[in-house]
Structure 1
Amino acid sequence: MHSYDSVESLIDGERESNIHVECSRPVTMRALDTVRRLYKNRRCAFYLRSDRGFDRDSVRSYLRFFGALSGTRADAETAIDHFGLRPVASKRIGKLDDEQRAMVNFARMSLADPEICFIEYPLGYLGSAARSLTLRWIAEASERGTLFITTGQPLRDALLMPGMAWWMEDDRCIAAQTETGDADGGSPIPGSAQDPQQDDAEPDEVQVVKIVCKSGTTTLLFDPREVDFIESINRANYVSVRGQRYQTALTLDELEAMLERFGFFRCHRSYIVNVQKVAKLERFTRNSYNLTLSDATQSTIPLAKGRVADMREHFGL
């Protein structure tokens, strides 16, 4: 598993790569300081969630100011068109919604013709159309040689951008293990429940188990220890990892058999929980039990009354 001891060592070690990190605000601030230090002699552009622009300026005057400030031949009107800002070009920035402000910031960055772009939570405020415009700009700028370092977004967003996605665990930065395949998922992953050779393995043979999930056209391979719980909703199964859900083609029965030896428990007909992540078992009524987890969002999931005794017996709860 490719990893770095800290976000600082990640940015230093991957200087010529696009980096997208799922992380907290304090880690974002550390990453920002590192980028400023390492790339102080490069042409950089920055966009943080706190960047709101000048409320009294119009979009056009604001972008013209930064276009002149950049010293490049960048044209504010071109940026206005590219980022879909023409309908609000004469509007004061203070009157814009969050998505429009975000697009103004991307337009501002583009005018600098930057070598390095640092962006916090790049896709967080964007709807489908604005997201497409932004991803297109990032891809095109990346092809021209601009390096992108982004932070704060969930892993599923990080995977949409060119470069490598990373997630944090105990201050370590760990590369998201992915496999790009076709819409059908490609060949089975060795050691996964989709691998027909798994059942033929010798009893004493060491097996690597990965949970196969999809995020768009990307196949993700999760270590069981990363998983908080698995749920079945509307005839689809989802694996929850650090507060984000990823769809899997595996059935709950397959997942239960696959993960039981890793400390997972079928707590409800629609849920499998990683018992290591259980922080609290609560009984609200005689027939109502819930499990509260120590995951990123402190999730609460049901515990079926008929499974309470089994859970206590197997795990000493």
Structure 2
Amino acid sequence: MTEFASIDELVADGRSVHIECSRETSAALLAAVRARYRTQRCAFVLETDRGFERDSVASHLRFYGNIARNNMHHEDAISHFNLRGVAKRKIGGLAPSTLALVNLARASLFEPEICFLERPLSDLDAEGRSIALAWIAERMEQGCRFITTVEPLREALLMPGVACWHEEGRFIAVDQDDGEDEDGGAAYEGDEVRVLKIPAHTETATLLFDPRDIDFAESMNKATYLSVRGERYQTPRTMDELEHELSRAGFFRCHRSFLVNVQKVAKVERYTRNSFNLTLGDAAHTSIPLAKGRADEMRERYRW
């Protein structure tokens, strides 16, 4: 497991990193990025960015395009981030998801070598996430390094690069699997379905969930959680135990930290040659990371 002992070590690493951390740590990372990369072409999108409320989207981006003086025209950014329908609207009247895309469009005008983003996916709907992730992947392929701060960790895993969490001054990288199961894992035995219940705990009760009601299971900060109808419940089961129990109920280990109910998957999205996400059919259109080593296995098993 890769660890970075300090902010300076993390920032100096050279790879794109996405960190689950507090706002205080995010502010410290921002200061470190500004200090280290002050001579490079940088772009910053902060959680507090609200723009000029009386400015239109088009004039706002035109203003920053004139500052950037790069090859990226503000009209191209409007089209790229699907903002044509709101180009004449005032910044102050935009929905949070649209404002988040405007902020990313502003950053794109600078064609940055280093891009620092605070919680870039938090306010986005499913379409906005797809646009943002595609832009991040595209810029990374062109050599841009991204440093993002996120919450929860799942958002870090959706983006190409190294996902980390912050704990007691250290930054710990999430193990990214390649699809090889070191201990053999749970053998897939066709479509046989067993009757079973998965336990989860609240403060006052133990709940028993039918696997059909579970959207996905997630391992985070040394605990395992079940996502059921938009709510999260901690379970005493480990991810390996859940995989063993649920594989015959239509669940697939799409990532070391995620087990997804395949019946809930509505879309498989590919952003680069090795970057995949699963979009669920729930009300929030939740995105789940699909490890590159698992994509071929999933395609072969389910003939997608």
Instruction: Calculate the TM-score normalised by the size of structure 2.
Output: 0.65
Please name the residue that 2:182 is paired with. Answer: 189
Structure 1 CA distance, aligned partners of 2:62 and 2:55?
A: 11
2:185–2:240 Cα contact (<8 Å) kept = no
Q: Taking every aligned residue pair, what percent have the same amino acid on both sides?
A: 42
Superposition pairs for residues 178-217 of structure 1, below 5 Å?
Answer: 178-181=176-179, 187-190=180-183, 194=186
Q: Deviations over 1:202-235 (max 9, x none)?
A: xxxxxxxxxxxxxxxxxxxxxxxxxxxx986331
Superposition pairs for residues 130-169 of structure 1, below 5 Å?
Answer: 130-169=128-167
Counterpart of 1:158, as a letter, is A
1:123–1:153 Cα contact (<8 Å) kept = no
Structure 1 runs, 4 residues or longer, greater than 6 Å off? 252-255
Counterpart of 2:8, as a letter, is E
Please name the residue that 1:11 is paired with. Answer: 11
Match of 1:241 among 204, 216, 220: 220
2:3–2:170 Cα contact (<8 Å) kept = yes
Counterpart of 1:8, as a letter, is D
Q: Deviations over 1:171-223 (max 9, x none)?
A: 21001012033xxxxx4332x7649xxxxxxxxxxxxxxxxxxxxxxxxxxxx
Counterpart of 2:52, as a letter, is F
Instruction: Calculate the TM-score normalised by the size of structure 1.
Output: 0.62
Counterpart of 1:7, as a letter, is I
Structure 1 CA distance, aligned partners of 2:154 and 2:245?
A: 24
Quick check: which has more Rg, 1 or 2? 1
Report deviation, 1:250. 3.1
Match of 1:128 among 120, 126, 129: 126
1:53–1:93 Cα contact (<8 Å) kept = yes
Q: Deviations over 1:237-289 (max 9, x none)?
A: 7355248847847349979xxxxxxxxxxxxxxxxxxxxxxxxxxxxxxxxxx
Runs of at least 5 residues in structure 1 that lack an aligned partner in the other structure: 182-186, 196-229, 256-317
Kindly report the root-mean-square deviation, in angstroms, between the aligned alpha carbons of the 2 structures. 2.7
1:45–1:117 Cα contact (<8 Å) kept = yes
Counterpart of 1:140, as a letter, is E
**Higher RCO structure (Cα 8 Å, ≥6 apart):** 2
Structure 2 CA distance, aligned partners of 1:231 and 1:40?
A: 52
Residue 26 to residue 244, structure 1, CA distance change in 2 (3 Å): farther
